[in-house]
Amino acid sequence: MKNTLLSAAIIAALGFSVTLHANQQEQETTTGTTNNPTTGNTIDNDVNNADRNRMDRDRQDRNQDNTLNETDRDMNREDSRPANALTTNETNRNLERYNMDDNAIEAEEFVETAAAKGIAEVETARMALDEGSPALHGFANKMIEDHSAANDELRAIAQAEGLEVADDPTLMDRAKAMILSVRSGESFDEAYINNQIEAHEETIELFERGARSDHPEVRTFAQNKLPVLQEHLRMANDLKAQHMTR
């Protein structure tokens, strides 16, 4: 009887152990790895890394937006400046270039050279009236009138400002080298027209230098006469075009 009871107790104990083990396996299967501490930490770290990456991207986007906004503001400030406005630095650079121009000319040298060229223009124009065709006469008379008046102004400036310039005979000697000489086989009209184009190009260059003179009266005179000389050059070129079509 005792043996029978003992056997029953052993069997009952074994059955409970099997049942308990089965229940543990079922619980582990159901919960998976969620109760694994290591797995849980890995998931948390992944989530935290994803959050940090997202925050970094958001910060980069904000920085880029700020940069774009700053660029837009700079462009708007630039656009708001008048088209003809110069910054202080640009104005200073322009003034430096103007003041550093070494192509200006001394007042006395300008007056002497301009006067000699004026005399040559008048004498050559008188030749055109004597030897040229009627097509040249209107232009020649214009040269006599304008250059005679300009020389009178130059003489008055030299006297008023006390400029030391050559006397009339010396100026005439300088002018002779500039007076037209007709080459053999060349018509007078052609020679005169070509002479006037070349002479006025050189005179315009001289007056451009005079317009940068540090002498105020000489500078004003040169600036005022430049448009007249440019008109003379245009007229000479028109004469050449007409002469070529004849």
Overall domain count for the chain: 2
Q: Quick one: pLDDT at residue 206?
A: 97
Is residue 210 assigned to a domain? Answer: yes
What's the CA gap between 18 and 22, in Å, rounded? 6
Judge whether 239 and 139 are in contact, CB under 8 Å. yes
Same domain assignment for residues 170 and 221: yes
Hunting for tokens 């000699």 — which residue is that?
116
Same domain assignment for residues 132 and 52: no
What's the CA gap between 12 and 224, in Å, rounded? 132
Is residue 15 assigned to a domain? Answer: no
Is residue 139 assigned to a domain? Answer: yes
Same domain assignment for residues 47 and 80: yes
Please give the span between the terminal C-alpha atoms of the chain, in angstroms, as a whole number: 158
Global confidence as pTM:
0.59
Same domain assignment for residues 125 and 208: yes
Is residue 17 assigned to a domain? Answer: no
Same domain assignment for residues 64 and 169: no
Running DSSP on this structure, what letter comes out for residue 163? -
Owning domain of residue 173: 107-245
Q: State the 10-residue block means of pLDDT for the chain, 246 residues long.
A: 45 45 48 47 54 68 60 51 46 44 84 96 96 96 98 95 89 88 80 95 97 96 97 97 84
